[in-house]
């Protein structure tokens, strides 16, 4: 399993349910990396998608504790156990965790690869993810950039590898 996220230099990912700094090239890269793949997300993240609907061209698996929650065009799981059972029918490299913060932090230990867009700036935020730079088992295996977005905003693409993936049981 993999995850893909855009973070600021403090590993913050959002504020008030929105991305800290949408970057068009990053959104395009997100679409390319996840197209025809499986995306795993939380119910609150789904609400932030266009029209509050699952992403087109992908298998959308939504994790929600709300037992009565359902969504057209998506598969809903109500527990990590149920999620892992469902994910076992997909290839590991085709699965991408895409948010939000609670989902990332629960599932990052089970991911082999993290695709990070690191924005070289700090933003006011209310949601963050695990700082991979502070984790001994995560290391950068590929880096591109920095690229200039606008004004004083620069970003880099980083690929992290987890040497101690927790098995999905």
CATH code at position 151 = 3.40.430.10
Q: What confidence tens digit (pLDDT) does each residue in 28-64 have?
A: 999 999 999 999 999 999 999 999 999 999 999 999 9
Segments forming the whole domain that contains residue 112: 2-162
Q: Identify whether 105 is part of a domain.
A: yes
Whole-number pLDDT of residue 169: 79
Up-side HSE of residue 59: CA atoms within 13 Å toward CB? 12
**Domain-located, residue 56:** yes
Please return the burial class of 49, using the count of CB atoms within 10 Å of its CB with bins 0-12, 13-18 and 19+. Answer: middle
Share of the chain above pLDDT 90, in %: 99
Distance from C-alpha of 116 to C-alpha of 7, rounded to nearest angstrom: 7
Q: What does residue 46 show for φ and ψ, rounded to 5 degrees?
A: -55, -40
- With respect to residue 169, please indicate whether it lies within any of the assigned structural domains: no
Residue 146 counted as domain residue: yes
Query: 168 in a domain, yes or no?
Result: no
| pLDDT band with cut points at 50, 70 and 90 for residue 100 | very high
Q: Residue 69 falls within a domain, yes or no? A: yes
Over residues 121-140, the mean pLDDT reads 97
User: Average of pLDDT values for 152-160?
Assistant: 97
Give how many domains the chain has, as a whole number: 1
pLDDT tens track for 14-34: 999 999 999 999 999 999 999
Residue 55 in any domain: the answer is: yes
| Long-range CB contacts (within 8 A, 24+) of 79-82 | 80/106
DSSP at 43: H
What average pLDDT does the segment 86-114 reach?
Answer: 97
d(CA 113, CA 104): 13
| CA–CA distance, 155 with 15 (Å, rounded to integer) | 19
Has residue 167 been placed in a domain? no
Calpha distance 59→61 (Å, rounded):
6
What is the pLDDT, as a whole number, of residue 67? 94
């Amino acid at each position: 399993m993999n995850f893909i996220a855009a973070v600021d230099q403090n590993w913050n990912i959002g504020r008030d349910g929105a991305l800290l700094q949408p970057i068009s090239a990053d959104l395009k890269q997100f679409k390319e990396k996840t197209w025809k793949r499986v995306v795993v997300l939380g119910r609150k993240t789904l609400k932030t998608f266009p029209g509050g609907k699952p992403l087109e061209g992908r298998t959308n698996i939504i994790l929600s504790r709300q037992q009565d929650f359902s969504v057209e065009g998506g598969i809903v799981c109500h527990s990590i156990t149920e999620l892992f059972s469902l994910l076992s029918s997909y290839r590991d490299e085709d699965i991408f965790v895409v948010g939000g913060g609670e989902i990332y932090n629960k599932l990052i230990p089970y991911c082999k690869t993290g695709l990070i867009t690191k924005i070289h700036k700090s933003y006011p935020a209310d949601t963050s993810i695990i700082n991979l730079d502070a984790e001994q088992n995560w290391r950068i295996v590929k880096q591109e950039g920095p690229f200039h977005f606008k004004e004083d905003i620069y970003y880099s693409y980083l690929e992290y590898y987890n040497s101690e993936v927790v098995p999905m049981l």
